[in-house]
């Protein structure tokens, strides 16, 4: 039960309670599905089925940008599904990836041979491509261009491994940095953000790389068990003969050293993340960008020096995720969150870790970049007395089941069928 995992963190229980009571509406607005075409409604169904992280914040974007980003996500999800499907032979997959952007203008193109869990976005690609063609030209140009560049990059890495740290940056650029660049161009095209947001591709690329590297680090065990290898050989070959050997119990010390090296590398993108977020002016765009980033640094903090990365699934608590989602709505709050998690990592840096000096250096840079301008925001903890917190915990525990039931009933009544 989610509430039990947060018992040692009263502020998370408080926020879980707020979230159930309707606090989620601050960052997750409801859509008017009745005014949409049938094909657009179907696209939002696919969005909610395929996105674990981004569906809520996409649907909270303002105006026509919301639909553009929804279609952008689904197009890239379809492309990514082709890349991930290990049952498609290379001689068929490589041309598909290289030419995928052309399918956006082919009304009937679809692919029905995928075995991946998200295969519906390929099987019903005509619905997605129809809504793509309904977008304004400035949005279509961005989506098509990014889809083309990403497909070419994916095809390149199908036939070569992620060897050097430079290769790791390049691979992450193709699969995530380009997403950051494309989104930034969409933000500017919508005129919700200034032109410089879309023009500064270096910062936008870093936004994507930070998220992608975090996912690759966290998903070590799942990827290796399924025959995928995304950790750079330059890193893991310092500690093992084969990447999968890091999961062996006798290799734990070496595995943690490799893990910490990669976390340290990912942290180098955080100063760019801070710089990028500080430019944003539209609230819905800020929430969309900031929430995944703070969840990423929370995930990195959980992964750092954690043996569970090599033994199972590492996730942040639901109460922790809800707290981050509800609080990361302004730059000062984001700076505070980044400071907190960088301090958590700092406390876990071992005296004997090979990357210790590099880790300490980048953490110091992050602390400097995220230094708060107002001392009143030095902590994220809600300033509630122990008596009120205890009462809140008890109330939340007693009410949780009832709220879960009534919220589910209300959602079933009011949401899109």
* pLDDT tens digit sequence for 394-408: 444 444 444 454 444
What rounded mean pLDDT belongs to the chain? 85
pLDDT at 31: 63
pLDDT at 259: 98
Structure tokens at 101: 């952007």
Q: What's the Cα-to-Cα distance from 64 to each of 68, 69, 104, 341, rounded to whole Å?
A: 7, 9, 19, 35
Q: How confident is the model over 178-199, as pLDDT tens digits?
A: 999 999 999 999 999 999 999 9
Q: Are 293 and 273 in contact (CB under 8 A)?
A: yes
Q: How confident is the model over 354-399, as pLDDT tens digits?
A: 999 999 999 999 999 988 533 333 444 433 344 444 444 444 444 4
pLDDT at 147: 97
Q: Are 110 and 123 in contact (CB under 8 A)?
A: yes
pLDDT at 10: 52
CA–CA distance, 150 with 342 (Å, rounded to integer): 31
pLDDT at 306: 96
**Would you say the C-alpha torsion 312, 317, 322, 327 has a positive or negative sign?**
negative
**Would you say the C-alpha torsion 364, 180, 289, 209 has a positive or negative sign?**
negative
pLDDT confidence bin for 99, thresholds 50/70/90? very high
Q: How confident is the model over 63-96, as pLDDT tens digits?
A: 899 999 999 999 999 999 999 888 999 999 999 9
Q: Are 288 and 294 in contact (CB under 8 A)?
A: no
Task: With H, G, I as helix, E, B as strand and everything else as coil, classify residue 74.
Answer: helix
Q: How confident is the model over 268-319, as pLDDT tens digits?
A: 999 999 999 999 999 999 999 999 999 999 999 999 999 999 999 898 888 8
Name the DSSP letter for residue 54.
S
pLDDT at 325: 86
Task: With H, G, I as helix, E, B as strand and everything else as coil, classify residue 41.
Answer: helix
Structure tokens at 226: 């399924």
Name the DSSP letter for residue 135.
S
pLDDT at 389: 42
Q: How far is CA 145 from the centre of its chain?
A: 22
Q: What percent of the chain has pLDDT over 70?
A: 81
pLDDT at 304: 97
Burial class (CB in 10 A: 0-12, 13-18, 19+), 84: middle
Give me the residue label for tokens 């765009």.
Answer: 285
The count of other CB atoms within 10 Å of the CB of residue 332 is 13
pLDDT of 14 > 80? The answer is no
Q: How confident is the model over 20-54, as pLDDT tens digits?
A: 555 555 555 566 667 788 999 999 999 999 986 67
pLDDT at 382: 39
Burial class (CB in 10 A: 0-12, 13-18, 19+), 58: buried
Catalytic residues: 171, 218, 228, 288
CA–CA distance, 260 with 275 (Å, rounded to integer): 24
CA–CA distance, 59 with 50 (Å, rounded to integer): 14
pLDDT at 34: 73
pLDDT at 122: 97
For residue 329, what are the contacts with CB-CB under 8 A and spacing of at least 6?
Answer: 26, 27, 283, 286, 287, 290
For residue 390, what are the contacts with CB-CB under 8 A and spacing of at least 6?
Answer: 10
Give me the residue label for tokens 């490589």.
Answer: 94
- DSSP structure string for 8-37: T-HHHHHHHHHHHTTGGGGT-PPP-GGGS-
In this prediction the pTM is 0.82
Q: How far is CA 250 from the centre of its chain?
A: 32
| Dihedral angle over CA of 180, 359, 216, 309, nearest 10 | -150
Longest dimension (CA), the chain: 66
């Amino acid at each position: 039960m989610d509430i039990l995992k947060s018992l040692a963190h009263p502020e998370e229980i408080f926020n879980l309670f707020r979230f159930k009571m309707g606090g989620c509406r601050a960052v997750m607005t409801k859509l008017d599905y009745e005014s949409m075409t049938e094909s657009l409604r179907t696209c939002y169904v696919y969005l909610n089925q395929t996105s674990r992280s981004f569906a809520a914040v996409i649907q909270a974007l303002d105006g026509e940008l919301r639909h553009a980003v929804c279609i952008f996500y689904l197009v890239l999800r379809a492309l990514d599904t082709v890349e991930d499907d290990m049952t498609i032979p290379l001689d068929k997959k490589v041309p598909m990836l290289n030419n995928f952007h052309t399918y956006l203008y082919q009304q009937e193109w679809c692919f029905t041979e995928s075995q991946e869990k998200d295969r519906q976005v390929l099987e019903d690609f005509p619905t997605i491509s129809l809504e793509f063609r309904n977008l304004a030209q400035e949005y279509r140009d961005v989506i098509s261009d990014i889809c083309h560049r990403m497909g070419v990059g994916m095809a390149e890495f199908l036939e070569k491994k992620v060897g050097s740290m430079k290769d790791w940056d390049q691979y992450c650029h193709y699969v995530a940095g380009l997403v950051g660049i494309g989104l930034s161009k969409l933000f500017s095209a919508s005129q919700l953000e200034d032109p410089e947001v879309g023009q500064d591709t270096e910062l936008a690329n870093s936004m994507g790389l930070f998220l992608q590297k975090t996912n690759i680090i966290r998903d070590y065990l799942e990827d290796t068990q399924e025959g995928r290898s995304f950790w750079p050989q330059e890193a893991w070959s310092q500690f093992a003969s084969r990447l999968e050997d890091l999961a062996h119990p006798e290799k734990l010390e070496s595995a943690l050293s490799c893990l910490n090296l990669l976390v340290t590398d990912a942290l180098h993108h955080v100063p760019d993340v801070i710089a990028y977020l500080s430019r944003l002016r539209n609230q819905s765009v800020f929430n969309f960008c900031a929430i995944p980033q703070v969840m990423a640094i929370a995930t990195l903090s959980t992964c750092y020096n954690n043996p569970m990365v090599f033994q199972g699934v590492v996730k942040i608590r639901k109460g922790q995720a809800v707290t981050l989602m509800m609080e990361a709505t302004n730059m000062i709050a984001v700076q505070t969150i980044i400071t907190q998690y960088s301090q958590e990592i700092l406390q876990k840096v071992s005296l004997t870790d090979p990357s210790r000096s590099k880790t300490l250096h980048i953490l110091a840079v992050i602390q400097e970049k995220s230094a708060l301008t107002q001392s009143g925001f030095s902590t994220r903890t809600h300033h509630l007395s122990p008596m009120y917190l205890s009462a809140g915990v008890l109330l939340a525990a007693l009410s949780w089941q009832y709220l879960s039931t009534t919220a589910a009933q209300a959602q079933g009544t009011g949401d899109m069928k």
